[in-house]
Structure 1
C-alpha cells in the first residue's frame, strides 16, 4: 500500500452553488476506512497542493453500518463510508454525494424523501381503534427470520441511488418504501391494515413504476431481499384488485 491515500472529492458549498473537485492526500494507516480518512482531513483541512481549505462536510453516526447516514458514491458505487475499507479501494479514491437526493453541502444530502415514501406506504402499525386478534401473535421461526431480514433496512438510500427508475422525471417511491410495505403487511399486527398499504402502492409512482432492473438488491449493504419484496407485493396487489372487483 502507498504511503499516502489519494482522494478526489466532489464538493459543493451549498444547494445553489457550483460543484467542483478537490484532491487530498492523507497519511496511510492500517485498517483505515473512508470515514477515518475524512476525519483526518477534518483535523487538518489541507488539499493536495498544500493549501488550507474548508473541512469536507459529510454525515455519519454509528460508524458500524447500522444507521445508514454515511451513504455516498465511492469509486462510482453507492455504499457506506464506514464499511468501505481503504485497502479494498482502487486509488485515486473518488467520493461523490448521492445524486438522487437534494444536496446540502459537499457529501451531505437530504434523504427526507425516503421517509416520505415510508409515510406513503403507511409503514407502521395502527394504534387507533381495536382489533380482535386473540392472544398476542407469535411468529413461526421461519417467518421470524424472514421478517428480521426485511427489517434490516437502515434507510441509507443506496437502493434508490442505484435504481434507474428513481429520477427527476419519475414519481417512483423506490424499493426501500416497498420493502417496508411488505414488512408490515407480513407482520401479525400489520395485516389488519394490509389493504391500505396495497392501495397506497397501487397508484402513480408506486409498484407499477418498478422496471425490474434489480440494481437495488445488488448494492444494498444489508442484503435485504428487495426484489423478492417487490415480487410478493406484485402478486398480492393483483389478488387484492381482483377481490375488490368481485366484492363491489
Structure 2
C-alpha cells in the first residue's frame, strides 16, 4: 500500500454555488474508513497542490452504521462513510484515487451534506408511527405472534439512510415516488398490533400520487441497502394490500 491516500471530493460551498472538485492527499494508516479520512483532512485542510482549504462538511453521528446519516457517493456508489474501508476502496480503483460526492438525488446543503427531509415528509404522509392517546395506562397490548415478530424485525432495522432512494430509477421529480424505505415502514406498522389502527389510511396514502404503483421493481434498493432489508418483498406485499383496499373502498362508496 502506498504511503499516502489520494481522494477527490466534490464540494459546494452553498446550495446555489457551482460545484468544484478538490484533491487531498493524506498519510496512509491501516484500517481507516472514509469518516476517519475526512477527519484527517479536517485537521489540516490543505489540497494536494498546497492550497489552503476548509474542512469537508458532511453528516455523521453514530459512526457505526446505525444512524444512517453519513450516506454519500463513494467511488460512484451510494454507501455509508463509516463502514466504507479505505483499503477496499483503494483496491477497487484503477488510478488509486478515491472519489467522494454528495448523494445526487437530494438538494446539496454544503459539500457532502444533503437535505434528505423528503424521506421524513413521506413518512409523515403515510403516518409511520404507532398511535397513542396520552401517556396514561392503556392496559396490556395485543399479543404479537412470533411469526409476525420475525416479519417485522428486519424492517425495523431501517436507518433512514436514503440509499434505497438514491439508487432507485423511479425516485425523481417526475414521479414523486416515495421510495422503498417508506413503503417498508408501512408494512412494519401495519403488522403492529397497535399500529394497524391506521392501516387503511396508510394504504390509501400509498394509492395516491407517488405511491406504490410508481415502483418499477428494478430491485436496486434491495441490492444497495446496507442493512439488507427485504425491500422488494415489502413492496410486493404492500402493493397487494393497496389493491385490496382500493377494491374495498370502491364497494363501500
Superposition TM-score, scaled by structure 2 size = 0.93
Structure 1 residues 189 and 98: alpha-carbon distance in aligned structure 2, compared to 1, 3 A threshold: same
Equivalent residue number for residue 238 of structure 1: 243
Task: Please give the alpha-carbon distance, in whole angstroms, between the structure 1 residues aligned to 2:121 and 2:76.
Answer: 26
Which of 171, 174, 177 is the aligned partner of 2:176? 171
Unaligned runs of at least 5 residues, structure 1: none
Equivalent residue number for residue 12 of structure 1: 12
Q: RMSD of the TM alignment (CA)?
A: 1.5
Equivalent residue number for residue 112 of structure 1: 117
Residue 92, structure 1, aligned to residue 97, structure 2: yes
Shift of 1:196: 0.5
**Matched residues, number:** 245
Q: What secondary structure sits across from 2:190 in the alignment? A: helix
Residue 229, structure 1, aligned to residue 234, structure 2: yes
Equivalent residue number for residue 154 of structure 1: 159
Residue 25, structure 1, aligned to residue 30, structure 2: no
CA deviation profile, 1:197-235 (whole Å, cap 9, x unmatched): 000100011111111111111111011111111100111
Task: Please give the alpha-carbon distance, in whole angstroms, between the structure 1 residues aligned to 2:26 and 2:144.
Answer: 50
Q: Counterparts in 2 of 1:13-162, with a 5 A limit?
A: 13-89=13-89, 90=93, 91-128=96-133, 135-162=140-167
Shift of 1:96: 0.4
Task: Please give the alpha-carbon distance, in whole angstroms, between the structure 1 residues aligned to 2:40 and 2:140.
Answer: 55
Equivalent residue number for residue 196 of structure 2: 191
Shift of 1:239: 1.4
Q: What secondary structure sits across from 1:38 in the alignment? A: helix
Unaligned runs of at least 5 residues, structure 2: none
Q: What secondary structure sits across from 2:26 in the alignment? A: strand
Task: Please give the alpha-carbon distance, in whole angstroms, between the structure 1 residues aligned to 2:150 and 2:44.
Answer: 45
CA deviation profile, 1:9-55 (whole Å, cap 9, x unmatched): 00001000000111011111111000000000001101111221111
Shift of 1:140: 2.3
Shift of 1:237: 1.1
Q: What secondary structure sits across from 2:10 in the alignment? A: strand
Shift of 1:134: 8.5
Shift of 1:167: 1.3
Q: What secondary structure sits across from 2:6 in the alignment? A: strand
Which of 185, 198, 201 is the aligned partner of 1:180? 185
Superposition TM-score, scaled by structure 1 size = 0.95
